[in-house]
Amino acid sequence: MELSIDIFAAIRAALLLAAFATFAWSLLRTRREQAEQLDRVHTSQRELAAQVHALSERTAALATLVAATHHERMQEAPQPMRPRREAAPVRSYETARRLARAGASIDEIVASSGLASSEARLLRRLHGSDPDHGTAA
């Protein structure tokens, strides 16, 4: 009976060693595969970095070419003269303020002084003779 217990213990020990050996082999194999994958990733990364660098150089060259072309075109064709907007006389605000105090409508203020309607509306609220001129929002 002792012999069967010894054989049983030996078989158990052999199975445990086989399991550990299998585990160690699979672990080494996994580490080797991961190392190979990492090498492939590093190689791809270096290739992509080289491509990005090449694209960056091409983009810079293209930007220089576009700027030179634009500069040449600007020198060849003179810019058309835009009609200059005459500055409104300083007195237009004074005129608009007087009209607002006199109770003129917003349209009258715009037509006489050349102000925008929003400015005329503001002047009318500030200086107008409306009964609710103090409660303007």
Q: How many CA atoms lie within 13 A of 100 on its CB side?
A: 22
Give me the pLDDT at residue 83, please.
60
> Please, what is the Cα angle at 96 between 90 and 99, to 5 degrees?
145
pLDDT value of position 66 = 87
**Which pLDDT belongs to residue 137?**
41
Mean pLDDT by 10-residue block, N- to C-terminus, for the chain (137 residues)? 82 96 97 97 97 93 85 69 57 80 86 84 79 46
d(CA 117, CA 69): 44
Distance between CA atoms of residues 14 and 69, nearest Å: 81
Whether 115 and 93 have beta carbons less than 8 Å apart is answered as yes
